[in-house]
């Protein structure tokens, strides 16, 4: 008979770090592995090594953003301190349901962080490439960074509704009106371009 499936909620302690290592859908705090999301507990162990403890939602949506993953997201709202986004892709894999993420002002650029202004970097509706830097807080927000040349806005529409063309690392231009708008532009790598 299969062992009963254990369900868990965000913040729940799953085991100590002596009993298992943190896998996807978990984080470590005060010597314990804790659930980062609601789902079912999964343990995988390789010969003699500590079992890796993960939390999975269901068989179809096991893919979760991990620290270091490159994600594609859409900007939902901005304020003076951060941009709120929905994570749509991990690498080139579409997600079944969007995860919420936050790009803080200090994580937008690698240099002159104190001079960065969110509204000069992103606008609602922009499609952004970002890197996951932390699994975030209790509101299940992933913390994201665009502080690399390859990360930032990849698709943006002008006020006239046309898809803008990047003309520098900080500007995009509308092909219809030729007006320029400020953005934190990504230097797009060929493998991230969707054909």
Question: What pTM value is reported for the model?
Answer: 0.66
What φ, ψ does residue 73 adopt, rounded to 5°? -140, 165
The answer to whether 194 and 188 are in contact (CB under 8 A) is no
CA 192 – CA 92 distance, rounded (Å): 7
SS3 letters for 18-69? CCCEECCCEEEECCEEEECCCEEEEEECCCCCCCEEEEECCHHHCCCCCCCC
Per-domain residue ranges for the chain?
7-56, 69-188
Rounded to 10 degrees, what is the CA torsion of 83, 85, 87, 90?
-20
More confident residue, 58 or 122: 122
pLDDT at residue 76, rounded to an integer: 95
Could you read off the pLDDT of 143-177 as tens digits, one per residue?
Answer: 999 999 999 999 999 888 889 999 988 999 999 99
Average pLDDT, whole number, for the chain?
84
Q: 106 by DSSP, 3-state: which? A: helix
Q: Using a pLDDT cut of 90, give the percent of the chain over it.
A: 39
The answer to whether 136 and 102 are in contact (CB under 8 A) is yes
- Determine which of 53-62, 100-109, 151-160, 178-187 has the lowest per-residue pLDDT on average: 53-62
Give the start-end residues of each E strand in the chain.
7-8, 13-16, 21-22, 26-29, 32-35, 39-44, 52-56, 70-78, 82-90, 93-104, 127-134, 142-145, 152-155, 165-166, 171-173, 180-182
**7-56 and 69-188: identical CATH topology:** yes
Could you read off the pLDDT of 51-87 as tens digits, one per residue?
Answer: 888 888 765 444 777 888 899 999 999 999 999 999 9
Q: 7-56 — its CATH code? A: 2.40.50.100
Average pLDDT over residues 177-194: 76
Q: 69-188 — its CATH code? A: 2.40.50.140
């Amino acid at each position: 008979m299969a062992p009963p499936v254990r369900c868990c909620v965000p913040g729940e302690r799953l085991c100590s770090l002596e009993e298992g290592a943190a896998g996807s859908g978990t984080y470590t705090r005060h010597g314990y592995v804790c659930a980062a999301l609601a789902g079912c507990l999964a343990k995988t162990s390789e010969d003699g090594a500590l079992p890796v403890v993960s939390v999975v939602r269901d068989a179809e949506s096991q893919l979760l953003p991990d620290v270091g993953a490159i994600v594609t997201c859409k900007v939902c709202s901005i304020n003076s301190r951060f941009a709120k986004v929905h994570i749509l892709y991990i690498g080139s894999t579409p997600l079944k349901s969007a995860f919420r993420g936050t790009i803080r002002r200090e994580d937008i650029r690698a240099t002159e962080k104190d001079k960065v202004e969110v509204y000069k970097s992103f606008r609602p509706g922009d499609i952004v490439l970002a890197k996951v830097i932390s699994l975030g807080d209790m509101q299940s927000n992933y913390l994201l960074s665009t502080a690399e040349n390859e990360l930032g806005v990849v698709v943006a529409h002008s006020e006239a509704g046309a898809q803008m063309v990047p003309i520098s690392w900080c500007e995009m231009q509308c092909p219809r009106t030729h007006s320029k708008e400020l953005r934190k532009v990504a230097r797009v790598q060929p493998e991230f371009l969707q054909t």
